[in-house]
Structure 1
Amino acid sequence: MADRVRKARAPGRFGGALVGLVILALCVMGCGKMDELGYEPEVRDVDVARRDIKEVSSRILDAVAVKGGKVSPAGAGVSICEPDPEHLYVMRHPWSVSGVPNAELERGMENLRERLPGLGWKITEYGRNNSKARSLQIRAEHTEKPYKVSITWARGESGGEPLISVSVTSSVCFRAPEGTDLSGEY
């Protein structure tokens, strides 16, 4: 009986070692940079990704529902994704709402806390941040789309203008279609 157990284990040990060697050999030869990400990036045209993140941002702006505020003109942009900066990128869309009293901005933050979940966002963090100003902050991840958002209400206590700052970014890297020059993207 002991011989059977030993014989049954021997091929398993050998097989496990063989599998380990094959995996090691593949990685040494260059499994690919995608292993660093843990996923295979979706091929997405930069203009399509730009339109998508603008649409996501627009819905967040609608949820803020601050009347009379001025929205910064910053547009959606591209940043490279380190494992393969010539082919991989992330989208970012920073903007802000200002020009209204803090009471209106506070109402905007309350609106976001209440409305974001209904728009497909999971709030992962809500409360005062660790800055000296202890600004109110919301962080959320979209449950269906590859985006995350960081929203901060800066009350302007240090002499700056009170505002709600919003930064929407893709939570994954996208692969640019063959022939796309990411260095020319903004």
Structure 2
Amino acid sequence: MEIRDREAVEADVEQASSRILEMLALGGKVTESGAMTARCADYDSGQHVYRARHPWSVYQVPFADMQKAMDRLRSELPKSGWEIRKDGVDGSVGKSPQIIAESEGRTFSLDVRLHKASEAGGAPELLEVTVESACYRTK
């Protein structure tokens, strides 16, 4: 397992996220969150094994435009070195469309979900994106 610097991994994840946003080519508002580091669940808690995670969303854009952005991802991800592992619906009650992909070399994983507004009016329509790094050891 690679030994990496936390700040460098977080920066790499944010750069991968920026590239995904470019592929989406979607207007609207984007939540402003940075990458976070957390322990890898697959490893003993005594080990210093982490991954960086960058969750963000795009909202205040027509649902049809978000659907087109998902279609763009389907064609752009493979051209950019990503392998789509799942293209279907998630396990939620709303059965949101979901794309799961891994970058070449499995450096990053990607989870994109398209959420329709709830009929109760509580949740807005949004495109939810999470980019994660592979697990790494700290120096």
TM-score relative to the length of structure 1: 0.69
Residue 107 of structure 1 aligns to which amino acid in structure 2? K
Instruction: Output the CA distance in 2 between the equivalents of 1:90 and 1:58.
Output: 18
User: In proportion to residue count, which structure has more helix?
Assistant: 1
Task: Pick from 2, 9, 23 the counterpart of residue 63 of structure 1.
Answer: 23
Q: Report SS of the residue matched to 2:26.
A: coil
Q: Report SS of the residue matched to 1:144.
A: helix
State the structure with bigger RCO (CA 8 A, min sep 6), 1 or 2: 2
User: In proportion to residue count, which structure has more strand?
Assistant: 2
Specify the alignment match of 2:124 in structure 1.
161
Q: Report SS of the residue matched to 2:105.
A: coil
Structure 1's unaligned 5+ residue stretches are 1-40, 178-186
Against the structure 1 CA distance between its residues 106 and 85, is the aligned structure 2 distance closer, same or farther, given a 3 Å change threshold?
A: farther
* RMSD value, Cα: 1.4
**Percent identical:** 36
Structure 1 position 95 matched with structure 2 position 56: yes
Q: Per-residue displacement from partner, 1:62-121 (whole Å, max 9, x unpaired)? A: 001112x11101110000134245522111000010011101111111111111111111
Task: Pick from 71, 74, 89 the counterpart of residue 33 of structure 2.
Answer: 74
Specify the alignment match of 1:3 in structure 2.
none
User: Structure 1 residue runs of 4+, over 3 Å off?
Assistant: none
Against the structure 1 CA distance between its residues 99 and 138, is the aligned structure 2 distance closer, same or farther, given a 3 Å change threshold?
A: same
Task: Pick from 75, 79, 86 the counterpart of residue 114 of structure 1.
Answer: 75
Q: Per-residue displacement from partner, 1:114-168 (whole Å, max 9, x unpaired)? A: 1111111100110122321111100001113511111000011342110000011
Structure 1 position 175 matched with structure 2 position 134: no
Structure 2's unaligned 5+ residue stretches are none
Deviates more, 1:85-94 or 1:135-144: 85-94
Residue 161 of structure 1 aligns to which amino acid in structure 2? P
Specify the alignment match of 1:43 in structure 2.
3
Instruction: Output the CA distance in 2 between the equivalents of 1:85 and 1:146.
Output: 23
Query: Which one has a bigger Cα radius of gyration?
Result: 1
TM-score relative to the length of structure 2: 0.90
Instruction: Output the CA distance in 2 between the equivalents of 1:122 and 1:51.
Output: 22
